[in-house]
């Protein structure tokens, strides 16, 4: 009866479970549809309504112009992010976080300015800012989660080959063999020099 094979040596590092989803997982259909609706709303405000300030107040008129251009940039950004997520293009989560933060900051700033200048539509813009703040927070958490998952997967990829050498002795490693060769050379060289000194020339 054959003896049972010895169990493989334990790796010198604690194993951690890999995430059950890839970091570049595609967007879910409902999330993709919601992104399209959000992009359409911002693009409608930026390109169809095309608001312009005509009050003569530089701050208020500038906020209207900034709101229009911000809606265009955010709308295009949301659309690009949705397509990147669908195509599993790296960096989609980071772009989603940046676009969401831009939308939240822009809507909150414009809403406050409009309220200061007695424009009651600022209330609606503030509500959009609050909603985008929640979306930005969710995008930031999602980006952190995917980043942590990618880092963990990379650590497993780098450390896994090390476990194959867990049962090897120090003499089997290339560095140890090189050190042994150097030690041998340093030991033999003095013996050869002393032997050559003791030799007498033949007459």
**Per-residue pLDDT averaged across 105-119, rounded?**
96
By the 8 A CB rule, do 68 and 51 touch? yes
Phi (first) and psi of residue 171, to 5 degrees = -70, -20
pTM above threshold 0.85: no
The yes-or-no verdict on residue 200 having pLDDT over 70 is no
How far is C-alpha 114 from the chain's CA centre?
37
Give me the chain's average pLDDT, please: 76
CB burial string 79-117: b at 16+ within 10 A, e below: bbbbbbbbeeeeebbebbbbbbbbbbebbbbbbebbeee
Task: Kindly report, residue by residue over 121-171, the tens digit of the pLDDT.
Answer: 999 999 999 999 999 999 999 899 988 888 888 887 765 555 555 444 444
Residue 140 contacts residue 129 (beta carbons within 8 Å): no
Tokens representing 79 are: 């659309």
């Amino acid at each position: 009866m054959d003896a049972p094979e010895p169990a493989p040596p334990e790796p010198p590092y604690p194993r951690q479970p890999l995430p059950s989803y890839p970091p570049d997982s595609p967007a879910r259909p409902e999330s993709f549809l919601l992104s399209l609706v959000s992009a359409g709303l911002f693009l409608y405000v930026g390109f169809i309504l095309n608001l312009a300030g005509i009050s003569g107040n530089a701050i208020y008129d500038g906020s209207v112009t900034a709101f229009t251009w911000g809606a265009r940039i955010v709308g295009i950004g949301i659309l690009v992010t949705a397509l990147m997520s669908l195509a599993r293009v790296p960096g989609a989560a980071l772009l989603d976080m940046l676009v969401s933060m831009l939308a939240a900051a822009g809507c909150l700033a414009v809403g406050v300015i409009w309220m200061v200048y007695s424009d009651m539509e600022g209330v609606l813009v503030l509500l959009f800012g609050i909603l985008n703040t929640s979306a930005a927070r969710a995008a930031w958490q999602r980006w952190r989660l995917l980043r942590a998952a990618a880092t963990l997967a990379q650590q497993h990829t780098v450390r896994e080959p090390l476990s194959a050498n867990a049962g090897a002795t120090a003499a089997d490693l290339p560095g140890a063999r090189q050190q042994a060769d150097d030690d041998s050379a340093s030991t033999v060289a003095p013996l050869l020099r002393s032997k050559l000194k003791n030799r007498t020339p033949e007459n």
